Amino acid sequence: MEKVEFFLLGLKGFNVLNSFLKDFRPDKINKVVIARDTNIDNDYYDEIRSLCDSHNVTWMDRRDYQSDNNDCFQFLVGWRWMVNPHEKLIVFHDSILPKYRGFSPLVNMLLNKEPFIGVTAIYASERYDEGEIILQDRKEVIYPITIFEAINMVSEIYYKLIKQISIVIFDGKIPSSIPQEHSKATYSLWRDNDDYRIDWSNSSDEIVHFHRCVGYPFGGAKCKIKGKIYDIVSLEEFPDVAIESRDRNIGKVIFFDDSKPVVICGKGLVKINLIKDPAGSDLDKISFRTKFE
C-alpha cells in the first residue's frame, strides 16, 4: 500500500494534516515529522502531536529523524530545515514560483500588496525552490488582511494540492511535473528581528499594514524605546494634524488619547493601544517625552 510522510511546521502544517485525516485513512501516513520554532509565538508543535496521537499516527521530532529510505513520497509543509533531496521529496512553497523564491514569501507578498497569494508544489532540488513544478494554485487577496487570515487562506490551497497529488500517488503513479522558467525568478529574503521593527518614517497607513502582516502567529511588530525592544500589540491610524518640522520629529509622542500615546509618522499619526515588554507585561506608563525608534 502506498503511503506518504509529512514534515510539518506551524499553523499551515496543522491545518493540512487535519484536513488530510478527514479525507484519507490514518494508515495512509507512514509518519509525521514535527519541529519546534522559537521564532514564532505558536509553532503548533503540541497541536500537531496531539492530532497524530488521536489518530494513532506515528510522529517524531525532527531531531530524532533519520532518513530510512522507505520509498515513501514525503511532503514538506512550512518546513525550515534541509532534507536531503530525492526523487520523491515534494516541497510546498508559499508563492507562485518562480516568483518569491526563498524565505518568508507570504509575509513579503502581503507587504508588497500582491493581488494574489498562492502555493506551488515542486520536486526538491539542490538549489532552493528551483525544482520542477507539479501543481500550483492561487487566491485573490482583499486588503486589509492579517497574516493569520492569509495563512488560513494558503492552508486551503496547500491541502487542495496535497489531496490532488496524494490521489495520484495512492493510485501507484508518479506525479508529473514541468520545469520552472528560471529567467522570471525573484527572491524573497529571510527576516530577522530588525525586520520586525516599525519604520516610523513610513506613512500611518503603511505602518498599520505592516503591523497586520507580521502579527500572530509570528512575533509581531516591534519598536525601540530608550534602547529597549517592545512589542506593539495593537495600534490604529489617528487623524493627522499639521506638525512643524515633521521630518525632525518622527517617532515622537505628540499627545495622548484615552491615555494612549499618539505617535508622529512620516505621514499621518498612529495611536498605540497596547505595548508589551519582552516578558509579556503591559507597558502602562509612557512619558510624554518619549520617542519611538
For 262, phi then psi, to 5°, come to -110, 125
Query: Rounded to an integer, what distance in angstroms lies between the CA atom of residue 286 and that of residue 207?
Result: 20
Looking up cell 525632525 gives 248
How large is the average pLDDT for residues 174-190? 96
Q: What pLDDT digit, counting tens, does each position of 217-232 carry? A: 888 999 999 889 999 9
Rg (CA), the chain: 22
Q: Give strand pairing partners of 138.
A: 118
% of the chain beyond a pLDDT of 90:
84
Q: What pLDDT digit, counting tens, does each position of 115-132 carry? A: 999 999 999 998 889 999
How large is the average pLDDT for residues 198-204? 98
| Amino acid 67: pLDDT | 75
Q: What pLDDT digit, counting tens, does each position of 133-161 carry? A: 999 999 999 999 999 999 999 999 999 99
pTM of the predicted model, to two decimals?
Answer: 0.91
What lies within 8 Å, CB to CB, of 281 at 6+ separation is: none
Domains of the chain: 4-188 (3.40.50.170), 195-276 (3.10.25.10)
